């Protein structure tokens, strides 16, 4: 297959759909960089991925019932966050194996509901992989709220999350109540994950909330540097991924995800070589 000529980067601003997609990915980069830094520090990347995937069956049901998929996804994600925090507080952390089983069950039940029960298989791709080209002002508004909440969370609880990441046993003695700060982080991540679903889908949320911060973690020497670098990497990844999707005529979500994985692989190789 012969590749098309490289488009002018300014072409991203010519069409309303690509301008909206660029704005959406920029907002997600802000939320993803702010929260992703603490997702990596607190080692909750698997939770972040699970929070997105767990919304899939609920979104299918909401589509079939003509109910707001965003509200349904938000309810599922926040409920999942509360369940994970409660289990961890009670010493009953289900662990990665149980979480993996939940993900498999969520994906399987969602596909069965979409294809066999409601016969709406055409929406499965959109729910799983997103459609950044085709968003509206409501999607931008929800992502703006998620970015604002992420900023407020980092400003008010960033020190508590940092203390819990580096010294979880002594963090409560420093005046940081573990239960409330953990629940706040999980809830904010769940809210931000739901805001990313229309653009990148349930399966690719880690490309926004984990991969940029993981890249930044290889080079940052402070928590503040990690946050700033994660935002920058996420913004560059989103804009470049959208440009590549325009050039290669592929969906933006997978393009952003593949680009992010490639950048991390190169960054990890560079760091190992150094």
Which pLDDT tens digit goes with each residue over 5-52?
677 777 777 888 889 999 999 999 999 999 999 999 998 888 888 888
pLDDT at 95: 55
CB-based contact 185:235 (threshold 8 Å): no
CA–CA dist 256, 23 (Å, integer) = 14
pLDDT at 73: 87
pLDDT at 191: 95
pLDDT at 241: 93
CA–CA dist 188, 242 (Å, integer) = 26
Instruction: State the first-to-last Cα distance of the chain, in angstroms, to the nearest integer.
Output: 38
Domains belonging to the chain, first-starting first, are 13-273 (1.10.3470.10)
pLDDT at 122: 47
27 Cβ neighbours under 8 A, 6+ residues apart: 140, 143, 144, 146, 147, 195
pLDDT at 98: 63
Please state the φ and ψ torsions of residue 260, each to the nearest 5 degrees.
-60, -45
CA 258 to chain centre: 14
Whether the predicted model's global pTM rises above the 0.85 cut: yes
- Split the chain (274 residues) into runs of 10 and give each run's mean pLDDT: 65 82 95 95 88 84 77 86 70 60 74 63 72 88 96 92 80 66 91 93 90 94 95 95 88 91 92 82
pLDDT at 91: 55
pLDDT at 265: 93
Taking the CB of residue 125, how many other CB atoms lie within 10 A of it? 13
């Amino acid at each position: 297959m012969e590749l098309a000529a490289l488009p002018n980067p300014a072409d991203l601003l010519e069409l309303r759909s690509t301008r909206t997609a660029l704005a959406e990915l920029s907002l997600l980069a802000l939320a993803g960089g702010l929260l992703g830094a603490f997702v990596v520090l607190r080692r909750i990347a698997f939770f972040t991925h699970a929070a997105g995937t767990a919304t899939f069956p609920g979104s299918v049901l909401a589509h079939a019932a003509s109910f707001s998929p965003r509200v349904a996804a938000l309810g599922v994600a926040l409920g999942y966050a509360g369940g994970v925090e409660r289990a961890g507080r009670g010493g009953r952390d289900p662990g990665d194996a149980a979480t993996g089983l939940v993900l498999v069950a969520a994906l399987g039940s969602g596909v069965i509901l979409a294809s066999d029960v409601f016969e709406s298989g055409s929406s499965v791709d959109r729910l799983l992989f997103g459609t950044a080209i085709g968003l509206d002002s409501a999607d931008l508004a929800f992502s703006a709220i998620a970015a604002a909440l992420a900023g407020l969370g980092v400003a008010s609880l960033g020190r508590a999350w940092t203390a819990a990441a580096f010294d979880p046993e002594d963090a409560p003695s420093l005046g940081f109540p573990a239960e409330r700060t953990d629940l706040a982080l999980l809830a904010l991540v769940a809210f931000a994950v739901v805001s990313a679903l229309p653009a990148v889908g349930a399966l690719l949320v880690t490309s926004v909330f984990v991969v940029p911060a993981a890249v930044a973690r290889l080079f940052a020497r402070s928590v503040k540097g990690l946050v700033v670098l994660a935002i920058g990497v996420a913004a560059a990844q989103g804009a470049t991924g959208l440009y590549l999707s325009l050039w290669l005529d592929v969906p933006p979500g997978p393009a952003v995800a593949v680009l992010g994985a490639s950048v991390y692989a190169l960054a990890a190789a560079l760091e190992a070589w150094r």
